[in-house]
A and B are shown apart, each in its own frame.
Chain A
Amino acid sequence: MDSTHKVLANIETVVDGKPEAIETALVVLLAEGHLLIEDVPGVGKTVLARALARSVSCSVRRIQFTPDLLPSDITGVSAYNQQAAEFEFKPGAVFANIVIGDEINRASPKTQSALLEAMEERQVTVDGTTYALGSPFTVIATQNPYEMEGTYALPEAQRDRFMARISMGYPDTAAELAMVRERDADNPLDRLDAVVSIEDVRSMIAAARAVYIAPAVEQYCVDLISATRADTALRLGASPRATLHLVRAAKARAAVHGRDYVLPDDVDALAPVVLPHRLIPMRGADTPEQTVRRILAETPVPAGAVEPS
């Protein structure tokens, strides 16, 4: 059983009935992206995030975002050490391999941006000194839909930095029943062990980077992205960063599936989680999710060009 399957199986023992969500989370980890889990409270957002973190033996920090959280709580502070008579950097919560940001939209925009800058730059600058973050570095943020009370909406620019956004959705009846029985007594999350080492994760990331993407599939990705920009149901199309994220995620998915080349199917599977949170619909038009699905159904898949030599 290879590492990816071990991780997937491990998480599945605690998150019932959500294999796609689990796979997406792993893909985002291997593609060195950040994941946004958006859903109503209590459907297992945090459980998924924590289960992924626990399955990999690496440093994990969890930040509960609240309105009074300060940027320095995230990045760290320089504090004066009286014994050493000098300023000493106390790393914030972001210095970990996997950072779980719970209810990220409850914090003030200023605090949010501190995290999001760290996500993009993979480094933190405090008092003129730059500190590199760990590798791998992945933020798994959860948020409630922003219509809910006491939330600040994430600006588009910041949403764009998340590679994928998933929703958990309610479990089906069978999964919910199983959950009731298993978690009656204890929390299975506590029994979850790390199944892969951080070295394993690093080599998996390297393997994902090395996955081959054919020109035809690259073309397909670009076609999809430009279709979002031309679509009349959308006010804002996808950014070039979205193209990069889509390609990187597709490569990681190919690696998770044990392939060393990307299929258009990878792109098809990921576009609905990689694209919609970056798009802004026209008033009264379809939701971005519907639009992306329509674009997928309309955009021709390139046939490829490689004649056998």
Chain B
Amino acid sequence: MLRAESSTLRSVRDAGPAAAWLDHALLATALGVLLAGFSTVIGGADWWFTTFLVCALVGLTCAVLRAVGFRWVAPVAILVEFLALTWIFVPSTLYGGLLPTWSSVTGLTSLLDHAQTIIIEELPPVAQAKSVVLVLAGSFGLIVVFADVLLRRRRAAVLVGILLLAVYATPPLISGETPPFLLFAVPAGLWLVLLRSRTREASRTGWPVRIPALLVAMAALFTSLVLPPLLPDVTAVASGWGKGAPDVFGRGINPMLQLGQNLRRNSTRVAAQYTTNLPQAPYLKVATLRDFTGKTWRPIENTTDNDLFEGRVGLADGVKTSDKKTTIRIRDLRSSLLPVPYPTQDVSGLKGEWHAQRAGMTWRSPTDDTRGQRYTATSTLIEPTAAQMRQATTFIGPRLAPYVALPDKIPSIITRTAQAVTDGATNDFDRVMALQSYLRGGQFTYSETAPVAEDYDGNGLDVLAVFLQKRSGYCVHFSSAMAVMARSLGIPARIAVGYAPGRVVSLTRGQNLYAVTNDDLHAWTEIYFSGIGWTRFDPTPGVGSAASFDEPGSASQTPLPPTQANGGDPQGRQDDRVDAAPNASQDQTAPRSAIVVGAGILLVILAPGAVRLLLRRYRLRSRSPDLWWRELEASAADLGVETSLADTPRGFAGRLSSRPGVDTDALHRLLDTIETTRFARPGSGSGASGSSDVQAVLQSLADGSTRRARLRAALLPRSLARATRPAPRVEPLGI
């Protein structure tokens, strides 16, 4: 009995233990290569070995279990993966150094939680934190198990290609960098070998990849080539899938300077509320970006290499300072970075473990996040006079060198503009003020959508060059342009990311209560002046609390040149316009990405039908009765008629003619033709039937079917899946 059962199931079972070993060897190689693609996402190299170890272990488990004919391969493989992960990532929680305990589980989940925060906040390549490696290794292990399940079924083996493709597409989607061609070619080649080993015994033609498989491959190639350039908008949508967009962008701050996406989001959420005794509502800073790669800005990664130029350190004599308190209550924000005014010396009232970042004077937590926090930040209000600022001469030592560093080749428009704008200024302060009023002045307009629409969104050098020509963009472009231009003049500059001051929502106990929302997410420029420290400049027209430098540097001071104050004021005070701009832009971009996504989904839905239609046209236009018959078989399969490769034409026609409404005369003429074509002596004439008979039979077949069957045939043609089955069928190419 056992024997009989195994023989009937033989077609779906794998070909044997040897095949399982080969499968997993190929799969592990492909995944190992694909894993290398993640180097654009994670820094370092150890993670590769860890992840590959987990992959190999899981693959080995699957192969061994297959070889001994064990039934429940997937659950056991997942269990092995879990054990491996606990051994590698939370060894201290193991009982006897081997067995996981409950605290291993909680250890893993807290690591996963931490990984989520890192993924939300950090710019790729992220530091190779244990938690991120855990996510990678865990996912790859599951991929191996999933692929193993797919490989057991003949028809599904093709789908392993899609799995590999998804793995391939992930790093470019995250990092936006186009991976090298080899990364696509090698796994694709291995996949073809995988398919071939699967179909060789079955296919006599030695041509394993049939049309649908080829289509999958072509779609893959197309996706890999076309998708990455489309990134800015697609990523926002794509990476939100499965996670819920609000989780990614709603409550977290992504200091990747992908602020545009955050700003263009539809919903408005209050991130925090605060009261302050600062004379002006402060900017709340969460992160400082120092290193400019030419493509993007990155945070100061190494906190030990330090700049001791922050806050009170190194203040010149005579600069007026005072301590102010700001009490902040977090509402809807999840981040391991704390919004605080600059420069904050101390924070009280925080729950959990928080550390001050000496460079940039922000606060972050390795373990906790901002949810539910209420804290008081003590910051220093530094109020230099314009005269003091003009006198400041900055010596660029090794500690300041990173702040004037620029990539080797910068577009000439940037340096040229910087020179022209600052022409005639005699000191750094005047130059910086000139840059600020140039950007804030009427020549530039604030727009969140123009860069996207005209395809120069981002903050790379080339983008800045375009921005200086188009003169339209948002905070990312303005702050980045100002920082780069200042650096090109040898003035230390960096970018701060955080919240613009927000608006007053009520008056409590004599103090204004301010609220900042995700719409207030902002980037501005900080310029270093010797003896005064990092001073905020906001080159973005129409955003923020107005004039040039009012916060640590006391903008309201009279010594400021009136022209510059005017240059800032008219733009800054137009609060209504500021509010209007993001809203208008949201209205434009939201439908736009919806259209893109909608069109994409529609394309995916219609693709099978379109492929089928093309195939049908090709077959019907041919003069070959053989192809006509194939079309008839395929159409019948689409409409739900049972078909089998073991059908003879006559047997199939017999089944077909029992369907209601089928044009039996035409069918019999067609049958006669196909039998003569296929089986009679060559040259004995190919029957009287023409393509009109095919049309007639197809039409009558469709007419006799239900509307539902016809719709299904049009949208989800079963014959496509049927043809992917590697069948031991002698093809026209063959004999």
Chain A residues in the interface with B (C-beta under 8 A): 212, 214-217, 219, 223, 231-233, 260-265, 268, 282, 284-286, 294, 296-309
Contact = CB atoms under 8 A, between A and B. Distances in A.
B101 interface: no
Contacts of A299: 646
A298 B728 CA distance: 10
Contacts of A260: 680-681, 684
Interface stretch (B3-11, B322-330, B588-596): B3-11
A303 B678 contact: yes
A210 to B, nearest CB: 10
Contacts of A303: 626, 629-630, 678, 729-732
Contacts of A219: 730, 735
15 contacts: A223-B728, A233-B7, A261-B675, A262-B679, A263-B675, A264-B649, A268-B648, A268-B651, A300-B646, A301-B646, A301-B647, A302-B730, A303-B629, A305-B730, A306-B677
A297 B680 contact: no
Interface string B1-20: 10110111011000000000
B650 A263 contact: yes
B626 A307 contact: yes
Contacts of A261: 675-676, 679-681, 684
Contacts of B180: none
B686 interface: yes
A233 B675 CA distance: 33
A81 to B, nearest CB: 54
Contacts of B626: 303-304, 306-307
Mostly, the A contact residues are loop
A301 B649 CA distance: 9
Contact of B677 (A284, A300, A308): A308
Contact of A214 (B625, B649, B678): B678
Contacts of A216: 678-679, 730, 735
Contacts of A284: 1, 3-4
Given A297-B644, A308-B624, A212 B681 contact: yes
Q: DSSP majority for the B interface?
A: loop
B646 A307 contact: no
Contacts of B651: 265, 268
Interface of B: 1, 3-4, 6-8, 10-11, 623-626, 629-630, 644-651, 675-684, 686, 727-735
A217 B679 contact: yes
A306 B644 contact: no
Given A261-B681, A297-B644, A303-B678, A233 B4 contact: yes
B678 A306 contact: yes
B13 to A, nearest CB: 12
B330 to A, nearest CB: 67
From B3, B11, B625, residue with most partner A Cβ within 10 Å: B3
A250 B209 CA distance: 34
A305 B732 CA distance: 4
A231 B7 CA distance: 8
B730 A296 contact: no
Given A303-B730, A305-B735, A308-B625, A233 B645 contact: no
A214 B680 contact: yes
Nearest to B727: A300
A264 B675 CA distance: 9
Q: Which of A282, A299, A301, A304 has the most CB of B within 10 A?
A: A304
A260 B629 CA distance: 22
A137 to B, nearest CB: 29
**Most-contacted residue by chain B among A214, A285, A308, A309 (CB, 10 A):** A308
Contacts of B625: 308
A240 to B, nearest CB: 20
Contacts of B623: 308
A217 B681 CA distance: 12
Nearest to B204: A219
A223 B682 CA distance: 22
> Considering residues B649, B734, B735, which has the most beta carbons from chain A within 10 angstroms of its beta carbon?
B735
Contact of A263 (B646, B648, B733): B648
A261 B682 CA distance: 10
B7 A232 contact: yes
B679 A307 contact: no
A214 B3 CA distance: 36
Given A214-B679, A308-B623, A298 B3 contact: no
Contacts of B735: 215-216, 219, 302, 305
Contacts of B728: 223, 300
Given A268-B648, A305-B734, A212 B680 contact: yes
A296 B646 contact: yes
A265 B650 contact: yes
A309 B650 contact: no
Contact of B678 (A282, A286, A304): A304
A235 to B, nearest CB: 11
B6 A307 contact: no
A80 to B, nearest CB: 56
Contacts of B678: 214, 216, 303-304, 306
Contacts of A307: 624, 626, 732
A70 B645 CA distance: 51
A212 to B, nearest CB: 4
B680 A308 contact: no
A301 B680 contact: no
Nearest to B630: A303
Nearest to B733: A305
A302 B735 CA distance: 10
A309 B684 CA distance: 11
A212 B684 CA distance: 11
Nearest to A297: B646
Contacts of B624: 307-308
Contacts of A262: 679
B630 A308 contact: no
Contacts of B727: 300
Contact of B648 (A233, A264, A298, A309): A264
Nearest to A305: B735
Given A212-B680, A219-B735, A296-B646, 8 more contacts: A233-B7, A260-B684, A262-B679, A268-B651, A294-B8, A298-B11, A302-B730, A304-B677
